[in-house]
Amino acid sequence: MRFRSIQVKIVSVLLAVLTVGVSFSISFSLRNQQKNLIEASQQTLALNTQVLNHTINNIMLSGEAPLANRTMNDLRNMPEFLEYEIYRRDGTIAFSDYETLDFVNRFQDRFMFEQTPRIDGTMLEDQGFKEVLKFSTPYVFLDEGAQEMEYYFPILNYADCRSCHGDDHFIRGISHFRISLADIYAKVGAARQTLSLFFLVIGLLIFAGITLVLRRIIIAPILGIGSIVSRVGEGDLEVSVDLRQRDELGVLAGRINDMIRGLKASKELELENTRIEARLDESRKYLDNINEGLLLLDRDFRITSEYSAFLTSLFEQKDLGGKPFPEFIYPDEEESQEAREEMEGFLRIMFNNSTAALSMIMDINPLAEKEIILPSGRKIIVSTAFQRIMEDGEVRNLMVLFQDMTGIIESREALEAERQIHESELEQIAAILKLGPRIFEEFVASAREVFHYIRENRENFGRQEILNKAFRDTHSLKGTARYLKFNVMEQLAHRMESDFAALRDNAGSDPPLPELDERLESLEEELKSIDGIIERFRQFSRGGESEAPEMDIFRLRLEEMCDDLSRELEKEVRLDFHSDWDRLPGLPRVQSSVFHLLRNAMDHGIEDSFERLAAGKEETARLSLSFRKEEGDMMLVELKDDGRGLDFLALEQRALETGLLKPGKHFPSQILKTLFMPGFSSRDQADSISGRGVGLDAVRADMQALGGKINVKTAKGRGTSFSLLIPLASLEAE
């Protein structure tokens, strides 16, 4: 299909229509005009001719034939009259009839008519002539080609004529007029031109008018719309059709504008999508490359598809997307049911609790520093941070950040170990500075004795009493080491003590000698180091020795022990000291028992402040230690407390548990006795303060060696008092 512009089409149509219309109009009207003109002329001519006819006739009748002739001649001279002739009925020209002339001349006695040349009756052949002769009516003949009109009028032989012409004929003759219509035709032609021009101009005007209007109303808008649409096609969406007509085109324009807007919106959406995708890509890249474990949780506590690649390698798990978080952290369902529930509770708070500050909730973060066992068996320690991601005031997601702390923790622990060593050294130094080296020298001496004993008897641990002594001595050593803040020594002694305890409880089994030797060695090493420090400080010791350095030291130690235990156990304690002696005889032999009793009282005898308050007691507990002279050269050592007193039921229970009592009913004295038996406290309850199963059995052993007696008085809720009655003789002996 050839593309023809609508303009062209419309214009062509208009042109064709107008042309046809105009032409028709022109020709029609021209024709009409011509006809009318001719008819009018005809009528006029006919009239004129008739008039002429009548005139001539009347002239002839009046006998003035030459007048008639002259008239005819004059007429002939008129330009329009091409031919004017009167013919006789035999076709000859009138007044050429000599006979008649003569006759008339004669008749008139005058010479009225000249003889005109005769033309022979060719007229008889003439069609018109014949017609008239036949019908005796006028005959008109229009010769368009020659632009002439011919009239044939019969001249009738009226009564009046007869008088001159005789009466033997009806038609005298025929007037023949040949009139030229050239003038008329020329006029018509001129009119035709004018009319044509006129119609042409009108046509053109109409054409122009319609074209303009069409252009304005239809074509221009359509073209305008067309160009806008093509601009949109090229991608320019900022255009719009500006058409304010209130017609179908206007509506179309409006719809097109809507469409453009729609396109624009969808394009922007597309752009937005592309941007979002780009951002997603970026974040994906970020997630894949960061060296931290990062994941996002949704409100169902499931991991979203947004997690960092590092996470998969850290946790040795893949495809985390969609996995519930508690499952991910605790893969083992059976073992970790409770842990999972705790996690879920925590997550619930994180998502829903909007009033509490994050830092508060973080306090119950179960994953703050968590050891996780990976599928491969490897252990890692991760530190997690949680961050809420809010949207419209609600928590939409939770971001979890994992950091692998394993290395850090290990370094930390190593550092801590180092620090402890240093600290212990510092403590040792401080203690020495404070107390003077004497105590330490004593400690070193007694430690050496203990080690010596153990070494000597290492083969003999099958024997219960040797084992027990070794155990007690080690325990004692441990206590003193602890008091002197030799933490490392204390720990080593503790381990050695455990070994002995184990041995003792599995009576009969062979002692693991290699381990014992190892322990002993490390103990001796430690002792050497302590000795070394003491050596270095020997010069700095304060020279001034008091009169009773032992006593001073003893009391100092008591205070220190009280303070330390007080602090550690969070119990307020006041120690009252009384001694009948300035210098206690046999102090070295008795002091360890005193320390044991003191420790025991503070640990078990005295209640915590709330208990005391509930019981209506003063917050500060009272401990009273006294050394009195008794009758019979005895020393009475008494330690009284105002604590909770001995709970015989609990004691009995414990004794049954540890097998020190057989099931059945027991007297209080029996139960009391178990207190002083080795292995009284079960292993599970060991704490480094009162030690395991030692304390009171060591006291008993010491008393036995000294020949002393132990007495216990107790009142439930009110307190306990331990008394040691020792003969002075054994104290003073070397």
Burial of 36 (0-12, 13-18, 19+ CB in 10 A): exposed
Q: Which stretch binds another protein (CB under 8 A): 350-358, 427-435, 437-445, 708-716?
A: 350-358
425 vs 433: CA distance, rounded Å: 12
Nearest to 97 by CA among 78, 73, 113, 85: 113
Binding positions for another protein, 33-52, rule CB under 8 A = none
| 276 close to 289: Cβ distance less than 8 angstroms | no
- Residue 608 sits in the site that holds another protein (CB under 8 A): yes
Which C-beta is closer to another protein: that of 88 or that of 571?
571
Q: Which stretch binds another protein (CB under 8 A): 80-88, 328-336, 468-476, 606-614?
A: 606-614
From residue 513, how far is each of 496, 506, 517 by CA, in Å?
12, 15, 6
| 147 close to 180: Cβ distance less than 8 angstroms | yes
Binding positions for another protein, 364-383, rule CB under 8 A = 364
Q: Which stretch binds another protein (CB under 8 A): 238-246, 610-618, 655-663, 695-703?
A: 610-618
Smallest separation, CB 609 to another protein (Å):
6
* Strand extents, DSSP E, 332-393: 370-373, 379-391
Vertex 665: Cα angle to 659 and 671 (nearest 5)? 55
Enclosing H/E stretch for 496: helix 487-505
- Residue 610 sits in the site that holds another protein (CB under 8 A): yes
Nearest to 35 by CA among 196, 192, 201, 199: 192
Which C-beta is closer to another protein: that of 640 or that of 644?
644
Which C-beta is closer to another protein: that of 269 or that of 364?
364
Which C-beta is closer to another protein: that of 364 or that of 408?
364
From residue 690, how far is each of 311, 341, 601, 602 by CA, in Å?
48, 39, 10, 10
From residue 549, how far is each of 439, 555, 586, 590 by CA, in Å?
10, 10, 14, 16
- Residue 433 sits in the site that holds another protein (CB under 8 A): no
Which C-beta is closer to another protein: that of 217 or that of 613?
613
Options 6, 212, 251, 360; binder of another protein; rule CB under 8 A: 360
- Residue 613 sits in the site that holds another protein (CB under 8 A): yes
- Residue 240 sits in the site that holds another protein (CB under 8 A): no
Smallest separation, CB 347 to another protein (Å):
14
Smallest separation, CB 445 to another protein (Å):
40
- Residue 339 sits in the site that holds another protein (CB under 8 A): no
Smallest separation, CB 603 to another protein (Å):
14
The DSSP 8-state label assigned to residue 681 in this structure reads: S
Q: Which stretch binds another protein (CB under 8 A): 95-103, 122-130, 607-615, 706-714?
A: 607-615
Smallest separation, CB 612 to another protein (Å):
10
- Residue 363 sits in the site that holds another protein (CB under 8 A): yes
Smallest separation, CB 344 to another protein (Å):
14
Phi then psi for residue 133, to 5 deg, are -55, -40
With CB under 8 A as the rule, give the number of residues binding another protein. Answer: 19
Burial 38-60 (b: 16+ CB within 10 A, else e): beebbeebbebbeebbebbbebb
Options 356, 368, 502, 513; binder of another protein; rule CB under 8 A: 356
Which C-beta is closer to another protein: that of 355 or that of 669?
355
One-letter amino acid of 291: N
- Residue 357 sits in the site that holds another protein (CB under 8 A): yes
- Residue 353 sits in the site that holds another protein (CB under 8 A): yes
- Residue 159 sits in the site that holds another protein (CB under 8 A): no
Options 77, 355, 376, 669; binder of another protein; rule CB under 8 A: 355
Smallest separation, CB 607 to another protein (Å):
8
Options 616, 632, 663, 664; binder of another protein; rule CB under 8 A: 616
Q: Beta partners for 307?
A: 295
60 vs 627: CA distance, rounded Å: 208
Nearest to 559 by CA among 473, 427, 444, 435: 435
Binding positions for another protein, 557-596, rule CB under 8 A = 570
Q: Beta partners for 637?
A: 627, 724
| Inter-axis angle of helices 513-538 and 487-505, nearest 10 | 150
Q: Which stretch binds another protein (CB under 8 A): 96-104, 268-276, 327-335, 611-619?
A: 611-619
Smallest separation, CB 570 to another protein (Å):
6
* Sequence-distant (≥ 6) Cβ neighbours of residue 201 within 8 angstroms: none
| 244 close to 250: Cβ distance less than 8 angstroms | yes
Smallest separation, CB 690 to another protein (Å):
17
Binding site for another protein (CB under 8 A): 353, 355-357, 359-361, 363-364, 570, 607-611, 613-614, 616, 619
